[in-house]
Amino acid sequence: MYWEKELEILERKSLERLQLERLAKTLGQAAKSPYYGRFPEIVRFVQSGMKAIEQIRELPFTSKEDLRNNFPWGLLAADKKDVVRLHSSSGTTGNPTVVYHNRHDLDSWANLMARSMYAAGVRDTDIFQNICGYGLFTGGLGFQYGAEKLGCLSIPAGAGNSLRQIKLMRDFGTSVAHVIPSYLGRLFEVFKDEGLDPRKDTKLHTLVIGAEPHTQEHRLRIEEMFGVKAYNSFGLSEMNGPGVAFECTEQNGLHIWEDAFVVEIIDPVTLQPVADGEVGELVMTTLDRQAMPVIRFRTRDLTRFLPGACPCGRTHRRIERISGRSDDMFIMKGCNVFPMQIEGVLMKLPEVGDDYRILLDTIDEQDEMIVEVEVRQEWFKGDLAFLDRLQRHITRLVRDEVLVRPLIRLVEPGSIPKAEGKAVRVLDRRKK
């Protein structure tokens, strides 16, 4: 039931003592970097020690802009000769964010990934297909090393090429796959085009989905299409990548591994802690990384702590699935709108396909929200009167949810452009 039982069911006070011990080492290591070494708050705690984990609130926040502004070596806290890998964002709009790892860091990350996958029911008898990009993106290699640590036969299939993915699944009896949620709709359509049903023509029993925020409705649709359990994975490259938090087989929130991270949830405006159970921005500090520790990183991801104990017996706190990002919010006609609100409406409708896009544009000097919605093929071929009713129905539902009347465009399945990696849900073309 447990990968590392002594850590996964550690009593709360013992877990907090472990966090405090590891935080002291983390601060000492971080102070060796040019960036963190200049903060008197960090130097003070390195010299005098920290008495309670709550004192972490006296430390400075770290933002993605801090990583970019101190590119490339400003947060490196180890000798370059000991660094064995880096991961990086694309940096298409400026300096990328870069994260460095030494051998200890990679071993720790692989172990967290193995622990996470084991919690979701993956075992060394499984055949694991990694349908995710490899390279600077952390998702591919993170799961690869975790699956190998766990002992699975792993297939590093990479992203795309749906026909090859299906052939690999059928030839080798893939039982577990890691896939970005927005790609699964396309993969299911290719199964159908080939006259195949993944529920009958594969041995899949588990999907691990992550990298993109997605709604519960989207997850349920994936489970119905593929006839599997789909487990939510959360990670970010600044905290390693995947393996930061993971659902266990109870599927009632994501256990966030507190022996490796200190977790806070704050109000993104006041920067103060929110009450337990309230939604706020996730802030994280690494506890087991040497080459590049990161202190109080503002993830911009919105979530909340879930109350109570998990029936699985793990004592690490659970967070709710990510409900969106504070920097994904846009303002339309005076209303705050999150893309996930619109997805939650669309994914409940059986006529709607698996992709959508939100276009923000200025039409006749008025800002408008245009939502392109793919309609399933069997419905798109329906009569015009039916499509008109569906369009008006979606318009009402979205308006009631976000308090802004959208312009709904119903489009053919597969017609919305697909981006490499994560789906691009919002395109803002408004006049500034």
Q: Are residues 300 and 163 in the same domain?
A: yes
Tell me the per-residue pLDDT of 178-232, one tens digit each, with 9 for 90 and over: 998 888 988 999 999 999 999 999 999 999 998 777 888 889 999 999 999 999 9
Asked whether residue 288 falls in the same domain as residue 362, the answer is: no
Q: d(Cα 401, Cα 215) in Å, to the nearest integer?
A: 14
Same domain flag for 64 and 94:
yes
Q: Which residues contact 109 (CB under 8 A, 6 or more apart)?
A: 101, 142, 145, 146, 240, 241, 243
CATH code (residue 379): 3.30.300.30
Residues 319 and 343 in one domain: no
Hey, what long-range contacts does 298-303 have (CB within 8 A, 24 or more apart)? 298/61, 298/62, 298/63, 298/64, 298/268, 299/236, 299/238, 299/239, 300/64, 300/268, 300/325, 300/326, 300/327, 300/328, 301/213, 301/234, 301/236, 301/325, 301/326, 302/268, 302/326, 303/265, 303/279
CA–CA dist 169, 179 (Å, integer): 13
Look at residue 414 in the predicted model and tell me its pLDDT: 85
| SS3 label, residue 115 | helix
Same structural domain, 5 and 146: yes
Q: What is the pLDDT of residue 421?
A: 62
Same domain, 36 and 155: yes
| pLDDT in the model for residue 404 | 87
pLDDT of residue 420: 57
Same domain, 253 and 386: no
Q: What is the DSSP letter of 57?
A: G
Q: What CATH number should be reported for the domain holding residue 4?
A: 3.40.50.12780
Show which of 273, 304, 326 is a domain's final residue. Answer: 326
Q: What is the reported pTM? A: 0.83
Separation of alpha carbons 222 and 188, rounded Å: 9
> Residues 58, 59, 60, 62: is their CA dihedral positive or negative?
negative
Is residue 46 helix, strand or coil? helix
Q: Which residue has the tokens 């392109």?
A: 372
Residues 299 and 313 in one domain: yes
Q: Is 273 helix (H, G, I), strand (E, B) or coil?
A: strand
Residues 126 and 29 in one domain: yes
377 touches 351 (CB < 8 A): no
335 and 203 part of one domain: no
Same domain, 65 and 158: yes
Which pLDDT belongs to residue 319? 97
Asked which of 295, 326, 357 is the last residue of a domain, the reply is 326
Shared-domain flag, residues 304 and 356: no
Residue with tokens 């998990």: 310
Q: What pLDDT does 382 receive? A: 66
Helices and strands in the chain: count of H runs, count of E runs = 13, 20
Residue that is last in its domain, among 326, 356, 378: 326
Please tell me the distance from the alpha carbon of residue 354 to that of residue 230, in angstroms, as a whole number.
16
Structural domain that includes position 383: 330-428
Rounded to whole angstroms, how far apart are CA atoms 264 and 54? 10
- Give dist(CA 263, CA 274) in Å, integer: 12
Residue-level pLDDT, tens digit, the chain, 432 residues: 899 999 999 999 999 999 999 999 999 999 999 999 999 999 999 999 999 999 999 999 999 999 999 999 999 999 999 999 999 976 545 788 999 999 999 999 999 999 999 999 999 999 999 999 898 889 899 999 999 999 999 999 998 899 999 999 999 999 999 998 888 988 999 999 999 999 999 999 999 998 777 888 889 999 999 999 999 999 999 999 999 999 999 999 999 999 999 999 999 989 999 999 999 999 999 999 999 999 999 999 999 999 999 999 999 999 999 887 777 778 888 777 888 889 889 999 999 988 899 999 988 777 899 999 999 888 887 688 889 999 999 999 999 888 889 999 999 988 888 765 667 888 888 876
What is the count of structural domains for the chain?
2
